[in-house]
Structure 1
Amino acid sequence: MKNRLLYIYTHKGYNDSFLKKDVGMVPLCMSNGELVDTLFYCKDKKGTITFDKLNIEFTGCGWLASNFKSILFLLRNIINGRGYDLLVFHLSIRNIIPILIFKSIFKGKLICKMDLNTESAIKYATCHLQSQTIKYKLMKMMVGLTDIFYIETRRNYDIIKKGIFGLNISEKLKIMPNGVDENLVKVVSQNGGITPRKEKILTIISRFNCEAKAPYRIFDVIEIMSELNISEWTLNIIGKFPESFITDLRKKAVCHNVNIVCEGYNLELKDVYKHLYKSKVFLCLSIEESYCISLVESAVFNNCIITTNVGVSADLSQKYDRIKILDTYTKEKLKFYIREVIMSEQTEYCDISLKMLELYSWKKIINKTVSD
């Protein structure tokens, strides 16, 4: 990128852990080492922070008032010249004001990191066949104004490459998979020069307040572990769940003589990496995922993976052979794969997959994608 970068994030539900994921890592790696003025729409947070090269300002107000702050943000930056690019996340009506203002006064490119699930991809690709509402027309306008779209998976690329909202975007569209923090992976794997043994752990990362994550399927895993009589194995559950749900899981585990550990939600990324480093098997049982970065992370830390056919799973299976994909979820099929993996798993010591790290390092992904 020749132009300096501005970054506006309008999506709801921000928390600081996002900065270690695509929300923080994409603009950071696109910055070419220069400072990036950044504005986050966030009702519950105000003030400024610095995350490496990102100078982040939080609006501290709702969407409508945040739009006025985004106008001031863009006007403030035009003092330094018109040669900026703007990065936004999600093809969303929430981006309409900053997009219109940016394209009116700046000469640089508008870049959209789509963060798109398959359901939305299909909807965007076919909605021109339906009635054209005001929202449709505004979305179509944003598509026309956007210079570059980054999509995360080949599956969704193939769905939208011929067009969305009735507009052909094939010349604007590139695949940019989500990645891992290479430096942090190396810190965790070096472990003070000690190479620990892999432990008999099945890890699952989920959360309760999202039906698409299918947290109730964790009860199936407990029953399967009991039926397979693998009492020497532990199910490690990482995620945000209400205490009542955790209590039900523990009761179920006690009744079925299964070892479980319930980790909290607010883990630092380094702690998540440590769990995956020691784990032998990773499970993803979601109904829908836009990407599921945990699949990539678990591959980097050399886990055997059992997953539903969501997010990056199909792309990952082309590069990583220690993965089983459930095209249709059933408890019996899951049981078959867990039995097969546990019976064949021979990994003794913690290690990382250098191949996966090379393919999914954030910096390498973005350098390759932007230069293509």
Structure 2
Amino acid sequence: MTRDFHRPLTPKKLSQLAESVTQASALEPGLTMVVGPYGELVHFVYTAILKELAQGSSRLPIPLPECSSIVCVHSGPARYLEQVRGLHAKLGLMAPAFKKCQSFERVASCAFDWTNQASVSIVGRLKALKNGGCVVLQQPPDINPDLQGLLELRRAAEKYNARIILFCPAVADEAKISGTPNELFVVTPCEPNPGFDEGFVVSCPGLASPLSPSSGKVLCCVRLGDDGLETEITPYVADDLKTRLMAILKANEWSLEQIGNLVGLNKSNVSRKLRMVSGTVPDGWDGDMLAEWLEACDLDPIEEEESSEVDSVDDDDADDDDDGEHQSDDWAADDDEDDGNDLDDLDRAKPVAPASRNERNTRNKDVVIPRKQR
């Protein structure tokens, strides 16, 4: 074997390897399910994925295709549908970016279970499905989907070479569920990056790789702005915020020892936590952004602590120097006032350090006892 074979991979080659592992084809026609414990974030997840679908984005683990038409179907009482319209307007779903998204409402006494036989027949008659478009549905959180109904939705989408995306916020990633749809997204809530309101991880179990724990995962952070829901989708690093900060600092060419001093770990533990992690430096990274991350992680900048300690030490040294100067002046004054009378000096009280027991015993051994007293 040549010597080049034993050379370690450069960061560029490692990044190329990661890219080759995480490459995936676009979303297949058929049924796509979005499962996971994201009940409280269902509207944020719905808006974020619908935004990526409208743009034909490739930022999710599975790239989303360009769809000619997208129909979002909602069902329930009239008052509930009115609330949904207001919420979607607040989240920005009425913006020009979603002009290809159309809303189809069905007034009913309660929200539909889209895996019910009657509901499946309603979806099968939609023009968007027959034209090879995309139909977006939201399953009620208190109703588990029926497996037979899921299979019928899948057959209907495959028949017309269309796509059906079903959001199931209360369904766990189980074997009987994961094997039913053509594609599967798993959403898990997590701590957001500083500056955002909520965060969640979107993963595709079929893309998981032991070579890279972040393969098939992305981190999505959202915040509600004046123009609707703002989203930031970045590669997945870790669920906890402190590990993400360590990955950013490592990518910013901080040493393991510097990172450990900042987060309170030794460099071996830092190396272990960042062994399979590949982070990137965010755009616009500066001291203010670092301070924001440190505050979110309940950490203090190590530079400020060191500078304060140095200042305190310098102040103490200065005080000692001042005391020494005053003492030398006092001694000089005493020398000047000394009139040569040694008896006065004997009358002055001079502190004597007490001797320890060992010193007294040693001193007694050195005393010579007269022969008559022996």
Q: Give the TM-score category using the shorter length.
A: 0.3 to 0.5
- Greater CA radius of gyration, 1 or 2? 2
**TM-score, structure 2 length as denominator?**
0.33
